Amino acid sequence: MIIKCMKQNLYNGVQTVYKAVPSKTTMSILECILITANSNGITLTANDMEIGIETKIEGSVVEEGIIALDAKLLFEIVRNLPDNEIIIETENNLSTSITCEKSNFTIIGKSGEDFSYLPAIDKKDPVVISYFTLKEMIRQTIFSISDNDNNIIMTGEYMVINGNECKIVSLDGHRISIRKVALKNSYDEKKVIIPGKTLNKISTILPSDMDKDLNIYFTDKHVLFEFEKTIVISRLIEGEYFNVDQMMSSDYETKVNINKKELLDCINRATLLVKEGDKKPIIISINEDNMQLKINSVQGSMNEEIVIEKEGKELIIGFNPKFLIDALRVIDDEKISLYMVNPKAPCFIKNDDESYVYLILPVNFNTVS
Amino acid sequence: MIIKCMKQNLYNGVQTVYKAVPSKTTMSILECILITANSNGITLTANDMEIGIETKIEGSVVEEGIIALDAKLLFEIVRNLPDNEIIIETENNLSTSITCEKSNFTIIGKSGEDFSYLPAIDKKDPVVISYFTLKEMIRQTIFSISDNDNNIIMTGEYMVINGNECKIVSLDGHRISIRKVALKNSYDEKKVIIPGKTLNKISTILPSDMDKDLNIYFTDKHVLFEFEKTIVISRLIEGEYFNVDQMMSSDYETKVNINKKELLDCINRATLLVKEGDKKPIIISINEDNMQLKINSVQGSMNEEIVIEKEGKELIIGFNPKFLIDALRVIDDEKISLYMVNPKAPCFIKNDDESYVYLILPVNFNTVS
């Protein structure tokens, strides 16, 4: 194999597929990036058996061939070469030379035959969504998946496409996050559970362009994201997702309108007194026109008052401060509304058109403490 | 004790002295910052028994007193409070309230009586040097101190002041780094060994102003740095420093003039093939008008050519690439000169007025490998 390409093109490509290289594995071939040079041009592939990324790069194929090169080494070498044309040339014994200007590296590759190819996906009926929208929906929900493999369903996000609506749901047993957006086109109903890991990677690879769209293809077992010259293929999580609609409710006894930043800053301050792993609740007293927040820990105590608008009953309720922080951090509205029923029922943070809904379960607390 | 001060003043002060709070200690009082409020105003102090920092902050003393507060907690609380006046008030039982706007923290302090005070230093005959110059001299030499406590002298830097010259030397058995600057005033000879840890901390605390000077005071056992409203006191390392002058030489058989960036980039690339802890030398062949650099490791090989100007003999010599990188990184000149005698004698990188001298010992290598 002999290929020629500009450093920046190769570097961008390597950087993209590098995201699918597992950091720890016992199969050393998975630590490689596969370079394929044929009549279709130059393709880079990485595959950790759960998620695979493939990207095409500009350049010329002087001699067709395939080679698997250690991903980290390739990444570092390309990154450090001058900004000029790079020539990669393999010998029959897998020895591979990487040359740029007067600099020449020789490293030993692995046979491309040993590489695990990506599953072939029949690309039809893509769902079209903008880079920005998908990234935002992931950011605004990914924090409430579970990192506990005991319930594999909770480690993924539920994506429901119906008509021109796309909904993403995540939950971990203490809270539920839901985001909805309108799509430009209309589609038949699709319901899939996508691994959280896949969505995190997609998020880091996708540029933030607001005016560019990607295609998402679904099969029974896989999802394929296609954008620019790159495809990302991931397994889906099999099984039935939770019936989230059943957990929703629009009844409330207390509604609070509050400045989001003031509330978030205050809860952030309160958590300074809580050491990691220590489960101290923040106790919120909702009064006529203010909210009082209190926390007590071995390190000390904090209390603070925030001005609010209240509808309905006064209430004292306790929360895990982290759950409030996670949700508040991803809401962009300046003013938000909290809906509560009683100290044991879930609290909802949502806007009027329910394009976002965050359900958070309260925690028990001892009012005397 | 009752004090009032603006958040930013308190925050800056806490941030400064926080550098002297040890990250690990069995004496919990050392994890505190001491606040002293008296007729001299408000002073913050931290002390890890080797290095102590004291700074004065603007604010008003409503009631005199002293209190020691957990440094991390104080730092985090102050950082997260709104940008407004902060009131700190202690009760007789050491309970301390920190209030800002509608936010109130209560934490338990420790008695100021238990705090280890800084040694009293007789401030006379200061050496005056600009912030920028001191920071630069530290940056340009600190990398070649030894981190091995077996030879305590090598863990410090040797500072020699004589007339209007200030010289800083560090060495670790494989290399020597020397920087010289001219001072504005003239002084009697002073020779001290300052702990590397102290110099690193001074570097992070000192602003980078080119036009501001600090005062340095020396006693037999201590050095005191004074700038703005802050003093840093450190123990000196006791003992006799190495006779560095004896190791210097201006004889050479081969002199090379080379572009610094090209050489540094090339050595950086070469080290990509060397895993940490693996001691592969970079082998440099100095020819008539070019230099060839080669490295071989289990991961592969690299070779590269750089254009040079040469005086004297051709030469093949091997180096630990890290030692070259460390020195090249801190030299600001575009063109540099290397002076060598033979493959077993030290290489010098220095400029004509010897305001910097880097001595690096070569390593043995097997030309066949």
- Report d(CA A349, CA A364) in Å as an integer: 19
B185 in reach of chain A (CB within 8 A) = no
CB contact under 8 A, B302 and A266: no
- Report d(CA A48, CA A25) in Å as an integer: 9
- Looking at residue A291, its pLDDT comes to 96
How do residues A62-99 score in pLDDT, each as one tens digit?
A: 999 999 999 999 999 999 999 999 999 999 889 999 99
Give how far Cα B92 sits from Cα of A322, B50, B108, B117, Å: 34, 31, 11, 22
B265 in reach of chain A (CB within 8 A) = yes
- Report d(CA A152, CA A144) in Å as an integer: 14
- Looking at residue A361, its pLDDT comes to 97
Q: Are B193 and B125 in contact (CB under 8 A)?
A: no
Contacts with B32 from chain A: Cβ below 8 Å:
none
B276-282 long-range Cβ contacts below 8 angstroms, 24+ apart: B279/B320, B279/B363, B280/B321, B281/B318, B281/B319, B281/B320, B281/B321, B281/B363, B281/B364, B281/B365, B282/B318, B282/B319, B282/B320, B282/B321, B282/B324
Checking if the pLDDT of A109 tops 90, the result is: yes
- Report d(CA B94, CA B87) in Å as an integer: 15
CB contact under 8 A, A265 and B302: no
- Looking at residue A367, its pLDDT comes to 54
**Strand ranges in B91-229 using DSSP code E only, listed in sequence order:** 95-100, 103-108, 127-130, 156-171, 175-195, 213-218, 222-227
- Looking at residue B23, its pLDDT comes to 84
- Looking at residue A150, its pLDDT comes to 87
Listed as ranges, residues in chain B with pLDDT below 50 are: 368-369
Give the mean model confidence (pLDDT) for residues A193-201.
Answer: 95
- Looking at residue A305, its pLDDT comes to 96
Residue in chain B lying closest to A274 (CA): B73
Q: Which of A107, A266, A303 sits opposite B300 (nearest CB)?
A: A107
Give the mean model confidence (pLDDT) for residues A272-284.
Answer: 87
Q: Which of B76, B300, B306 sits opposite A105 (nearest CB)?
A: B300
Contacts with B76 from chain A: Cβ below 8 Å:
272
B273 in reach of chain A (CB within 8 A) = yes
Q: Which of A103, A265, A302 sits opposite B266 (nearest CB)?
A: A103
CB contact under 8 A, B102 and A304: yes
Give the predicted TM-score (pTM) of the model. Answer: 0.87
B49 in reach of chain A (CB within 8 A) = no
With vertex at residue B46, the alpha carbon angle to CA B45 and CA B52, rounded to the nearest 5 degrees, is 100
With vertex at residue B308, the alpha carbon angle to CA B304 and CA B314, rounded to the nearest 5 degrees, is 90
- Looking at residue B322, its pLDDT comes to 95
Of A168, A111, A123, A124, the residue nearest A145 (C-alpha): A168
| Three-state DSSP class for residue B172 | coil
| Three-state DSSP class for residue B338 | strand
Checking if the pLDDT of A59 tops 50, the result is: yes
How do residues A111-139 score in pLDDT, each as one tens digit?
A: 998 898 899 998 989 999 999 999 999 99
Q: How confident is the model at residue A368 (pLDDT cuts 50, 70, 90)?
A: very low
